[in-house]
Amino acid sequence: MNAPAYQGIKDFILGRIHAGEWAEGDLVPSENELAREFKVARMTVNRALRELTAEQVLTRVQGAGTFVARPKYESTLVAIRSISDEIVARGHRYRADVLQLGAAVADAALAEEMQLAAGHPVFHSRVLHLENDEPVQLEERWVNPAVAPEYALQDFTSVTPNQYLVRVAPLQRVEYRIEAATPESDIRAHLAMDDTEPCLVLHRRTWSQGVVASIANLWHPGTRYRFTGHF
Give bridge partners of residue 140 from the DSSP assignment: 126, 217
Closest listed residue to residue 28, CA positions, set 46, 43, 40: 46
User: In degrees to the nearest 10, what's the CA dihedral of 16, 18, 24, 26?
Assistant: -10
Q: Does domain 74-221 have CATH number 3.40.1410.10?
A: yes
**Predicted confidence (pLDDT) at residue 19 exceeds the cutoff of 80:** no
pLDDT, one tens digit per residue, over 112-160 is 999 999 999 999 999 999 999 999 999 999 999 999 999 999 999 999 9
Residue 213: per-residue pLDDT: 95
**Percent of the chain with pLDDT strictly greater than 70:** 90
pLDDT band, residue 225 (cuts 50/70/90): low
Look up the pTM and report it: 0.67
Residue partners of 54: CB distance under 8 A and separation at least 6? none
Is the CB of residue 96 less than 8 Å from the CB of residue 84? yes
Which CATH code for domain 5-70?
1.10.10.10
Domain ranges across the chain: 5-70, 74-221
Is the CB of residue 58 less than 8 Å from the CB of residue 49? yes
**Cα–Cα distances in angstroms (integers) from residue 65 to residues 25, 68, 175, in the given order:** 11, 10, 28
